[in-house]
Structure 1
Amino acid sequence: MISAVVILALSGLAFGAILAFAARKFFVPVDERIETIRNLLPGANCSACGHASCSSYAEAVVSKGAPVDACKVGGAAVASKIAGVMGVEAVLDEEAKVAEVMCRGGRSAAPHSYEYMGISDCKAASLPMLHGGPKMCEYGCLGFGTCVRSCPFDAMYMGDDGVPVVDRDACTACGKCVEACPKHLIRLVPRSKKIHVVCSNRDRGPVARKVCKVACIACGACVRACKVGAISLRDNVALIDYSKCTECGECVAKCPTKCIIEVPRVEDTKGGTQSAQGEVA
């Protein structure tokens, strides 16, 4: 009995020695910068940077030379700190952005052509066999909240009229909602800009007006009103060139269907609640 215990103890010591030797022999040093960068990152693991997690992004920065400014959530502040760790200069030319839903055709504005009884998911409802969804406007938001559920930061919610609303304060421009929308209605726009064309309908005016009360009808009133040439019509939809727009508001005033809106800048929303129309309550 005693000999068996001794043999077991000696075997344990031998295996322990072997494992200790192997650990030293095959030890792979870990660059301390990886842990430093990992601690600088917000830990959202949203994969907007193109990597599976914050940890994998940190490893990619150190080991593979990934851009130091890829973290959408951390923005310029985190990029500058990561650049400092890596001993490089952070080039932060791109303006900060925020998600905007380019549709305001909710239940009160855009009628349905049939009653949908399927899965409450925009991708499921937009299948070709279902004619792209129950709305008469084939370009409009289906209102099942797939984008809302995709947001890892709770920066979206469904408005009272069945169209998603972006919480501009909470949005990090990670792009998850952009990927989730099967109608491609969500875009990342300059955070500093407050005037947007929130319609994606490419039908001709009479057809667009029939399927949605707030659709762009390509009348050109906004184009004529703009004194700096910042608006044009493309595929029957008004398009704003943000690099030229002075935010004078003339296009907003002239639009007959009110599909051009003025939203408050992020700093203007403090203390208020942004509505689906971009107003502050």
Structure 2
Amino acid sequence: MPDILIATLVVGVVGLVLGLALVTASKKFYVETDERVTKVRECLRGANCGACGYAGCDAVAEAIVKGEARVDACPGNSSENIAKIAAVLGKEAIDQDPQVAYVRCAGTCEATKAKGAYVGLQDCRAAVLSGGLGFMSCDYGCIGLGSCVKACPEGAISLENGIAHVNSAKCIGCGLCAKACPKHVIEMHDRVTKVAVSCSNHDRGPAVKKVCVAGCIGCGICVKQCEHGAVTLENNLATVDPEKCVACGKCVEKCPTKAIHFVQGK
């Protein structure tokens, strides 16, 4: 019995000493946290997606407080939360234009043809690195292996009929899908964008027709139809200036291949 008591006392004393040592160390090495970091962190989305360029929400919150990042550094953050962050830091809120991803390709299975069978890792980047621009007839179009789907933290992208499709209601505008696309088919638009071109092919019209019936053939009809100078041809491809576009729909109506579309539920 005495041996048990001695062992118990020894364990108790050791535990007490270690406890006191931990308390002392915690006080000595305590680093005071700026309460503003916590408040800013609470105003972020909390996805830890890394789209801001930082390791996660904690890291970008610290950067915002230190002045190393803008108050709107979190892509897809609401205007309300951005205003709260600005208030915490005593700064003016930034009027952020929320963005949404848009797929500049309409090359569905019906619109284009397969030029060969791809055998390999089901990843768009892997397909490009393997030496091929793609296994569909259009070398500019969506490969359709889903690198963008994997990159999206919100599940806003799916593959439909061979190409990527963005659910604008779910999209937070982080831009990770655009970065993941090796063909640069996905680009970011302001949510106020009314009309866009769903094609990325810069070849001349005859060459485009051979590979995709939904591609822009650079005919220039859209340019002539637009009374506001919002549509131009750049390297054989129609481009719409959202600041000039009034969504009259004339270019959409007259486009022979329907490569120009209303966007964002218009």
Which residues of 2 match residues 241-280 of structure 1 at below 5 A? 241-265=241-265
CA distance in structure 2 between the aligned counterparts of 1:119 and 1:13, rounded to whole angstroms: 57
Which secondary structure does the structure 1 equivalent of 2:209 belong to? helix
% identical aligned pairs: 44
Are 1:58 and 2:73 counterparts? Answer: no
Please list every run of 5 or more consecutive structure 2 residues that lacks an aligned counterpart in the other structure.
Answer: none
Q: CA deviation at 1:263?
A: 2.6
Are 1:119 and 2:121 counterparts? Answer: yes
CA distance in structure 2 between the aligned counterparts of 1:148 and 1:17, rounded to whole angstroms: 52
For the 8 Å contact 1:101–1:186, the answer to whether it is kept is yes
CA distance in structure 1 between the aligned counterparts of 2:36 and 2:247, rounded to whole angstroms: 44
Please list every run of 5 or more consecutive structure 1 residues that lacks an aligned counterpart in the other structure.
Answer: 269-281
2:13 alignment counterpart: 10
Q: What is the TM-score of this pair, normalised by structure 1? A: 0.88
For the 8 Å contact 1:111–1:135, the answer to whether it is kept is yes
Q: CA deviation at 1:199?
A: 0.4
CA distance in structure 1 between the aligned counterparts of 2:68 and 2:125, rounded to whole angstroms: 36
Q: Partner amino acid for 1:21?
A: T
2:139 alignment counterpart: 138
2:102 alignment counterpart: 100
CA distance in structure 2 between the aligned counterparts of 1:178 and 1:264, rounded to whole angstroms: 18
Q: CA deviation at 1:8?
A: 3.6
Q: What is the TM-score of this pair, normalised by structure 2? A: 0.93
CA distance in structure 2 between the aligned counterparts of 1:114 and 1:99, rounded to whole angstroms: 29
Question: Which deviates more from structure 2 when the two are superposed, residues 139-148 or residues 99-108?
Answer: 139-148
CA distance in structure 1 between the aligned counterparts of 2:190 and 2:31, rounded to whole angstroms: 44
Q: CA deviation at 1:257?
A: 0.8
> What CA deviation, in whole Å up to 9, does each residue of 1:88-127 have, x standing for no partner?
11122x4221110000001111112111222221112223
Are 1:81 and 2:84 counterparts? Answer: yes
1:43 alignment counterpart: 46
> What CA deviation, in whole Å up to 9, does each residue of 1:7-48 have, x standing for no partner?
443333223222222211221111112222222222111212
CA distance in structure 2 between the aligned counterparts of 1:206 and 1:151, rounded to whole angstroms: 35
> What CA deviation, in whole Å up to 9, does each residue of 1:116-169 have, x standing for no partner?
22222111222352x21211211011111221221111111122x211111111
> What CA deviation, in whole Å up to 9, does each residue of 1:159-215 have, x standing for no partner?
2x2111111111111111101111000011121122111100011110011011111
For the 8 Å contact 2:218–2:236, the answer to whether it is kept is yes
Q: CA deviation at 1:64?
A: 4.5
CA distance in structure 2 between the aligned counterparts of 1:4 and 1:66, rounded to whole angstroms: 57
Q: Partner amino acid for 1:165?
A: H
Q: Partner amino acid for 2:99?
A: K
CA distance in structure 2 between the aligned counterparts of 1:233 and 1:18, rounded to whole angstroms: 73
1:229 alignment counterpart: 229
CA distance in structure 2 between the aligned counterparts of 1:157 and 1:15, rounded to whole angstroms: 55
For the 8 Å contact 1:68–1:79, the answer to whether it is kept is yes
For the 8 Å contact 2:76–2:98, the answer to whether it is kept is no
CA distance in structure 1 between the aligned counterparts of 2:226 and 2:260, rounded to whole angstroms: 13
CA distance in structure 2 between the aligned counterparts of 1:45 and 1:164, rounded to whole angstroms: 24
1:211 alignment counterpart: 211
For the 8 Å contact 2:214–2:258, the answer to whether it is kept is yes
For the 8 Å contact 1:147–1:181, the answer to whether it is kept is yes
CA distance in structure 2 between the aligned counterparts of 1:87 and 1:151, rounded to whole angstroms: 33
Match of 1:24 among 24, 27, 33: 27
CA distance in structure 1 between the aligned counterparts of 2:87 and 2:138, rounded to whole angstroms: 50
Q: Partner amino acid for 1:252?
A: V
Q: Partner amino acid for 2:110?
A: S
